[in-house]
Amino acid sequence: MMAVTKRHPGRVCVVVLGDVGRSPRMCYHAQSLASRGHPVDVVGYMRKDAEKLAVARSATLYPLWQVPGWISGCPGLLAYLLKALWQAVVLFIILMTLPHFSSLLMQNPPGVPAMPVCWLACRLRRARLVVDWHNYSYTIMALSVGRQSPLVKITRWLEGVFGRRADANLCVTRAMQQDLAKNWGVVAEPLHDRPAARFHPIPPEETHELFVRLGKIYQAFSTTVPDRTAFTERHADGSVALFDDRPGLLVSGTSWTEDEDFSVLLHALQEYESAREEGGHDLPRLVCVITGRGPLKEFYCQLMERKHWNHVEVLTPWLEEDDYPRLLASADLGVSLHTSSSGLDLPMKVVDMFGAGLPVCAFDFKCLSELVEHGENGFVFNSASQLAEQLIAWFRGFPHSQQMAALRRRFRQRIGEFRSQGWEANWERHARHLFDDV
């Protein structure tokens, strides 16, 4: 009889030409692969506390070498070319010196120089290249240099050429799947984002513990009374209750980039403040927590410092990875200002909010209806005034508004249906075969 050879799951290299900690979908990919027995290497830029990331418990991390500071000091076009060359050389060296992998999964964007380098490394190492399309590199670049820039045209050409040469492609929406096929002949499998298991509703006790920790840093969460926060109180029997006269807690996450105009939220908060000042005594004080890091954070923080609000307070903390899901589960409403440079991707922050059971207000764009349905599981807005109207309606009579009770129940039901289709089951159905069939 012939001996049966047992197949072992192949090694997979996951590439992010960006901050791994700010690429949750790629981290989820790595964790799903590792849970199914694949040895996983993650290559990308790592912040100093990268070892605290959940993915570090599932994969081996290989940090990319940072671009030297002198390159940033060069004139614009030269700086871009030198940066791309540096990244290409560093990424190629690391990919060629890693333990042998059978598949490479790369995030796009950024696709240049990642896509050509990953394709070449896969051909030389006889590995399978899988591209996960989160958006388009050329549309993001066009936000800063304009669509007619030669750099944008070259980037678009490179994405099309190497997208067609990939062995397999994933993408984040059905709209992107259709666009890839129509414009570039790229065949992609849509894999909608779903919340990881750590995003889920939590009991009041966990909310209280989170607010106690935040209260040690931010006065908006604290009181001078033992076992009390600005939102919760622990009773003598150990149970926790939320105050009826507590502030409303609004939360938003951002990468502070050009495709999110945070002045929209600031204008909406100004209108909320004005409504409260002009006799809206049934509107609670509002604590707005905006999380994330990014290039435009300092600009918007300076704008917020000029505001002198009596009934709205804005905080911009950086939370521990495990505290972010708890904050979403403890909030009363989420806001997404993601607009998408291509109009073809969906905001991961909304997926996480739904996972935590949190309703959202989301800025409208072409394919948002694949995730947020206005009046069914959240609100959709097109302007600061519309967002302000939604905030005022949601929080009027808070927390026991009879007017909004039916809508809140409907949102909870629809969000519950969304939560029932988790990341793992979705990944198993749409992505696993790309790596198991190697």
CATH of 204-420, one of 3.40.190.10, 3.40.50.2000, 3.40.50.970, 3.40.47.10: 3.40.50.2000
> Average pLDDT over the chain, rounded to whole?
89
420: nearest Cα among 332, 362, 354? 354
CA distance 268 to 279: 17
Q: What is the pLDDT of residue 380?
A: 95
Q: What is the pLDDT of residue 437?
A: 60
5 band by pLDDT with thresholds 50, 70 and 90: very low
Give me the percent of the chain exceeding a pLDDT of 90.
Answer: 56
388 band by pLDDT with thresholds 50, 70 and 90: very high
For residue 343, is it left (φ>0), alpha (ψ between -120 and 50) or beta?
Answer: left
| Confidence check: pLDDT of 2 > 80 | no
Give every CB contact of residue 421 below 8 A, 6+ residues apart in sequence.
194
| Confidence check: pLDDT of 50 > 90 | no
| Confidence check: pLDDT of 137 > 70 | yes
| Confidence check: pLDDT of 146 > 50 | yes
> What's the average model confidence in pLDDT over 102-108?
96
- Are 45 and 110 in contact by the 8 Å Cβ rule? The answer is no
CA distance 421 to 408: 21
| Confidence check: pLDDT of 291 > 90 | no
| Confidence check: pLDDT of 296 > 90 | no
| Confidence check: pLDDT of 3 > 60 | no
pLDDT tens, position by position, 174-224: 999 999 999 999 999 999 999 888 899 999 999 999 999 999 899 999 888
A 10 A CB-CB count for 316 gives 16
Query: Helices 24-35 & 348-355, crossing angle to 10 degrees?
Result: 60
> What's the average model confidence in pLDDT over 378-405?
90
In the chain, what are the domain boundaries?
A: 12-194+424-436, 204-420
> What's the average model confidence in pLDDT over 314-332?
89
1 band by pLDDT with thresholds 50, 70 and 90: very low
* CATH class, 12-194+424-436 region: alpha beta
> What's the average model confidence in pLDDT over 328-340?
92
Q: What is the pLDDT of residue 334?
A: 95
Q: What is the pLDDT of residue 21?
A: 84
Token output for 373: 């349905």
- Are 107 and 16 in contact by the 8 Å Cβ rule? The answer is yes
Q: What is the pLDDT of residue 358?
A: 94
Same fold, 12-194+424-436 and 204-420: yes
Give me the percent of the chain exceeding a pLDDT of 70.
Answer: 97
4 band by pLDDT with thresholds 50, 70 and 90: very low
CA distance 78 to 343: 30
> What's the average model confidence in pLDDT over 409-427?
89
